[in-house]
């Protein structure tokens, strides 16, 4: 087969382009890339949850004083906290009346998709300009553990979500909650704790209206192990767990106001 100089040059150029593209994509953090969820077939419940969530948001957008953003641990405030959500965040006349934007199964990349505007192809969770909370509470990252993202990737994903929230609502105060203990001690040591260790500096870098709330120690027992009495199934909180989150959150809310 004949192979002339021009062909050789073109081939080498193609190889270099492919290597460059591969390097760029290899350097991208999947936890920072806005990613839509599957919403058809057996995943139709995700679309239904999106609709219920946004119907509530659009019902009285100007009344929300707080917004909680996260995954199932955030969502389950609504049905696993006993009366704690209703008593503390569910009254429209309360200074803490809150919109719950928690979606089961969400990773940081999914939240980034939800925070992307509809005009840009996202879900537009905060497209409505009438939603102007005084405080946003962010807890995300637990689902990035499965399948595993590295501690560095998880920290980058949390940072991307926090920065997006600051861009969308610069006048809102932001509380960045740590990832809480998982159902695997090795995972906690290798992923959760190193990711959490980056969050105080992140909060500082985002300005005076941003605070870090380290919940991890609050969910440990006297031996420094995960307090299973606070969990429903090893990963999700029960009513006792939400009582601890509430106990840790309320003083910081008062301080920030």
Tell me the domain boundaries of the chain.
29-256
Q: Minimum mean pLDDT among 120-124, 146-150, 187-191: which range? A: 146-150
Tell whether the model's pLDDT for residue 2 goes beyond 90: no
Please check the confidence at residue 12 and state whether its pLDDT lies above 60: no
User: Which numeric CATH code is attached to 29-256?
Assistant: 3.40.50.1110
Q: Judging by DSSP bridges, how do beta strands 135-139 and 98-102 pair with one another?
A: unpaired
Average pLDDT, integer, range 145-150: 92
Residue-level pLDDT at 147: 83
Structure tokens at 107: 């990773």
Q: For the residues 78-94, what does the mean pLDDT come to?
A: 97
What does the pLDDT look like over 158-214, one tens digit per residue?
999 999 999 999 999 999 999 999 999 999 999 999 999 999 999 999 999 999 999
Q: Which helix (H) or strand (E) holds 70?
A: strand 66-70
| Locus of tokens 């928690």 | 102
Instruction: Kindly report the backbone phi and psi dihedral angles of residue 207, in degrees, each rounded to the nearest multiple of 5, phi listed first.
Output: 110, 175
pLDDT for residue 1 is more than 50: no
């Amino acid at each position: 087969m004949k192979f002339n100089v021009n062909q050789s040059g073109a081939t080498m150029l193609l190889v270099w382009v492919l290597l460059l593209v591969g390097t760029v994509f290899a350097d991208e953090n999947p936890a920072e890339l806005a990613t839509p969820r599957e919403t058809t077939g057996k995943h139709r419940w995700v679309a239904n949850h999106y609709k219920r969530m946004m119907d509530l948001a659009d019902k009285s957008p100007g009344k929300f004083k707080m917004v909680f953003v996260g995954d199932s641990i955030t969502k389950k405030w609504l049905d696993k906290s006993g009366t704690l959500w209703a008593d503390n965040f569910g009254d429209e006349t309360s200074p803490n009346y809150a919109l719950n934007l928690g979606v089961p199964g969400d990773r940081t990349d999914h939240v980034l998709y939800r925070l992307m505007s509809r005009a840009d192809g996202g879900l537009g969770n905060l497209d409505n300009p009438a939603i102007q909370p005084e405080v946003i509470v962010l807890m995300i990252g637990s689902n990035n553990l499965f399948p595993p993202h590295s501690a560095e990737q998880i920290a980058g994903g949390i940072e991307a979500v926090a920065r997006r929230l600051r861009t969308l609502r610069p006048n809102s105060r932001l509380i960045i909650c740590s990832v809480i203990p998982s159902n695997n001690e090795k995972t906690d040591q290798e992923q959760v704790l190193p990711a959490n260790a980056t969050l105080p500096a992140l909060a500082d870098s985002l300005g005076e209206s941003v605070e870090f709330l380290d919940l991890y120690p609050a969910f440990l027992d006297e031996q420094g192990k995960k307090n299973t009495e606070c969990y429903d199934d090893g990963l999700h909180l029960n009513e006792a767990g939400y009582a601890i989150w509430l106990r840790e959150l309320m003083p910081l809310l008062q301080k920030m106001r």
